[in-house]
Each structure stands twice: as structure tokens, then as C-alpha cells.
Amino acid sequence: MKIGNEVKDIDGVIVTELKRFSDERGWLTEAFRRDSIDEEIYPVMSYVSMTHPGIVRGPHEHLKQTDYFCFLGTSEFKVYLWDNRKDTPGYGMKLVLVCEKNKPINVIVPPGVVHAYVNIGKNEGLVINYPNQLFAGEGKKEEVDEIRHENDVDSQFKIE
């Protein structure tokens, strides 16, 4: 993964800059195209979240779910990623991305990668997620696939 002039990598994390098409009416961004990702991470649902400035979401991880986040560029975010998969070369690696205002990006986060984000901008920030697993399974009758680290005071996954 290339970020600015640096190359960093957490296996399976994919960051894609999105094109914004603007005119006098506003703007449009293609957030998801099935011809641009592997079939095993095709979304099965979608949700939109709004995050107030200064608010942190996460850190947490999934055992089976891949998240497909779209940071729309309505505010600025810092995204934190930690490789928590003992069987990968990047185990223990931490990566911090800065999502700039007016520069939308997708961040695909595979299972076992702990993730969090904080709105560091001055505006409310919109994020869309297209996960490849249903929240709480079919009919919301299954256990939620989530390991939450945010309330663990001894957690190694800290937001600066």
C-alpha cells in the first residue's frame, strides 16, 4: 500500500482513492464496484454512520467479517489499523491513515485487523460501510462477530 511517498503494508488491507465528479449540482463518487474487488468480500449489507468531530469509533475487530469502509470526504478522519493475526508477517504492525476532506477513499479491512477511526475535522463526517457479513446474522439471530477493545483499559490498541 502506498501512502504519500511511504510504502507500508498490512496484508489484506486495501486503500483506494476514489474519484469525485463535481459540477454545479454537487458531486458524485462511486463508492463500490463489484468489478474492483474479490468476490469473497462482496457486500451483503450497507450502513451509513455520522461521526461528530473528536469522536472515536472502535477499536474492534471481527473474526469472519471484512469491512469495506468508504470515507466520503465530508470531514477528516484518522484511521488506525493493527494486524492482530498471529499467522501473518505483519503481526503487531500498526498503520495510521489520514483521510482528507474532499478526497474520498475506501479502506477494506479483513478479519483479524483491529480498526478504529476518529473524526479529526471540524464537520460531521459520513462513513459508509459495506461489510461482507450480516450484522448479527440472518434475521439478527446470531452472535455479533465483534471483539470490542475500546472499553478495555489494558488494551494494546490505543488511539493517540
Distances (CA, A) of 58 to 31, 38, 93, 105: 22, 26, 17, 19
Cis ω before 131 (30° cut-off from 0)? no
pLDDT per position as a tens digit, 124-157 = 999 999 999 999 989 999 999 999 999 899 999 9
pLDDT of residue 9: 83
Mean of the pLDDT values across residues 15-21?
A: 93
Asked if residue 6 has pLDDT above 50, the reply is no
Rounded CA gap, 69 and 88, in Å? 22
Q: Is 0.85 topped by the overall pTM? A: yes
Residue 8: pLDDT band with limits 50, 70, 90: low
Distances (CA, A) of 44 to 5, 24, 34, 65, 68: 35, 34, 12, 11, 11
pLDDT per position as a tens digit, 67-115 = 999 999 999 999 999 999 999 999 999 999 999 999 999 999 999 999 9
76: Cα separation from own chain's centroid: 13
Domain range annotation of the chain: 2-134
Q: 2-134 has which CATH code?
A: 2.60.120.10
User: HSE (CB half, 13 Å, CA atoms) of 70?
Assistant: 17
pLDDT per position as a tens digit, 27-69 = 999 998 899 889 999 999 999 999 999 999 999 999 999 999 9
Asked if residue 1 has pLDDT above 50, the reply is no
Nearest C-alpha neighbor of 47 from the set 61, 66, 65, 68: 68
